Structure 1
Amino acid sequence: MTSVEMAHFVSHGSFALEAVVPQALNERAVAVLDEGIPHHPYGTPLDIAFPAGSFARELISLPAVAGAIQSLVGPGPTVDHHAVHVRPPRGGEAQNMHGDAILDTRTTAFDAQLMYYPREVTLDQGGTLSVPGTHLRRINQTGIGRYQNLAGQTRLTCPAGTVVFLHHGIWHGGRRNDSDVPRYMFKIRFNPTVRQLRLWNTDDIDAPGVRAELTARFGWTNANEGRLELVNRAKLWRTLTGDQDFDIDYYLTRETLVPSFIAPGATDVRLGAHHPADGWGLH
């Protein structure tokens, strides 16, 4: 991934590779997914969960897919879990809006979720609904389930062979399938085992497009909510780049202005000591 693409992921919580999987692999996928893919305990090393020669290993070894995994979670990730989701024709209820798993308090790491669609997804097939930019607003599973529609939400439609990567915290929900064909999706959640620091191609780290992506606005944020999102994104960008002075505006810089130096002439109540203003001209 490029820095512009990584900045898009930071602001949107997603990154899509449309029609990246060869058609021959897509044609094999449905039978493999119908048969099922063996499950392993949470946190199984990738090489054990998806051994060489397996369908899943072939999928994640495609250059564009492998590059995205490297960029987001780095080398040697573990497989948190995986699942095959099939919505039958004219069936299935729409899921409540939710975030996967419990409230996740991590601020310096995140999991990446791969979603693979072996067949074209049309609007009448429902598709996965998600709300861009919500991944940095932490919730506890279905705590937002009463909300059915939010300004700026999207419904995924895509060509066959599309792979989408999501931040684990994004608000989303599967829609019902109103078409005459089943809808297939294969999901893998990856846990990083290394610090997520500059894992992508940073040649364009100073490109104007980086800031343009980091300042993207969404329908569900008003002026005040939008400012909070700029702070959240700046914090994540600092984590990913190692640049602790980075800011989108002055909001995060202001938040970190907590001096610890005791001015001459002040009393340190912790030590019960008085510090004279020697040489400072404070009288």
Structure 2
Amino acid sequence: MINHLLISTQMVSFIADGYFRFDNIVFLSPCITCLKEISQFNGYLSVGTPFEETWPKDTALGEIFRIPIVMGLIRSLAGPNPLYDHHGPHLINAGELKGPDTHQDSFTDFRENYFDIQLSFFCVDTPNEKGGRFFIPSTQFRNIRMSEIDIYQHMRGKISVVCSAGTVFVWNSRIWHGARSNRIKSPRYMYKLRLNPSQPQVGLFNTSDLNNPAIENILKTKHGWVYTDYSYELLKRFKYGIMCL
């Protein structure tokens, strides 16, 4: 399993950015099968139960989140026995235009020492015009009330998801994010799974490169929207970095 755990530089990147992407880790054939299943596989299972016991094993979507690299990143961030929270497809229809949509999930979650993770699986090619999700990097340290930030548009440093089918994003559930307009003639699908840790998120990743000199610079990444609060952002990142060791 250690071969599939996040290494220290990846973990620090996740702390600094709030998300991590894995391109083309799912083959095209399972992506096509998942697309056929996606409309029937949504909603809630048994919330708060062990993920491995709850998540189905007889579907392509069930197996996507069990491939070794995905299991490795789940274990690195949420531990070996995470709890199931919820799942569901996200659809932006062909030609659907989105207004301001910047928001943060779970505005009632004020835990200081834990974070949930969400995985977004893109089973179709998602060019820029197709309206992939967007993230505002490093905003996971700023708790707000769900959509009260939807007045903010075109924030500096915003990352728009542009990817090929088979790409998986894993992200801190508190990062500011949203959907985008789909300006082409085919629907955009994304499948989301949320998991909760069942133990302290300490030393769960591969620490063999913990002395890598690149770690400091990664942790100090300054995103476009950060200005006078840069020192505050660094303090938050260092706090989480120490927590995860």
Deviation at 1:38, TM superposition (A): 5.8
Residue 212 (structure 2) aligned to one of 184, 197, 207:
207
Which one has a bigger Cα radius of gyration? 1
Deviation at 1:22, TM superposition (A): 1.3
Residue type at the aligned position of 1:81: H
Q: Distance in 1 between matches of 2:140 and 2:80?
A: 23
Contact conserved, 1:50 with 1:56, CA < 8 A, in 2? no
CA RMSD between the two structures = 1.3
Q: TM-score, normalised by structure 1?
A: 0.82
Residue aligning to 2:189: 184
Contact conserved, 2:137 with 2:175, CA < 8 A, in 1? yes
Q: Distance in 2 between matches of 1:144 and 1:128?
A: 16
Q: Distance in 1 between matches of 2:54 and 2:192?
A: 13
Residue aligning to 2:80: 75
Residue 225 (structure 1) aligned to one of 224, 229, 242:
229
1:232-269 Cα deviation digits (max 9, x unpaired): 0010011101xxxxxxxxxxxxxxxxxxxxxxxxxxxx
Within the alignment, does 1:240 sit opposite 2:244 as a pair?
yes
Residue type at the aligned position of 2:200: R
The DSSP-based 3-state class of the residue aligned with 2:182 is coil
Q: Distance in 2 between matches of 1:141 and 1:43?
A: 22
Written as runs of structure 1 = structure 2, the 5 A alignment for 1:35-184 is 35-37=40-42, 39-184=44-189
Higher relative contact order (CA 8 A, sep 6+): 2
Give identity over the alignment, percent: 31
The DSSP-based 3-state class of the residue aligned with 1:82 is strand
Deviation at 1:24, TM superposition (A): 1.4
> Structure 2 stretches of 5 or more lacking a match?
1-5
Deviation at 1:140, TM superposition (A): 1.4
Contact conserved, 1:132 with 1:154, CA < 8 A, in 2? yes
Contact conserved, 2:100 with 2:151, CA < 8 A, in 1? no
Q: Distance in 2 between matches of 1:80 and 1:15?
A: 20
Q: Distance in 2 between matches of 1:137 and 1:235?
A: 14
Q: Distance in 1 between matches of 2:45 and 2:21?
A: 27
1:166-218 Cα deviation digits (max 9, x unpaired): 10110011012111111000000100001101101100011012112100011
Deviation at 1:48, TM superposition (A): 3.6
Within the alignment, does 1:197 sit opposite 2:195 as a pair?
no
Q: TM-score, normalised by structure 2?
A: 0.94
Q: Distance in 1 between matches of 2:60 and 2:112?
A: 33
Contact conserved, 2:22 with 2:168, CA < 8 A, in 1? yes
Q: Distance in 2 between matches of 1:35 and 1:103?
A: 29
Residue type at the aligned position of 2:194: R
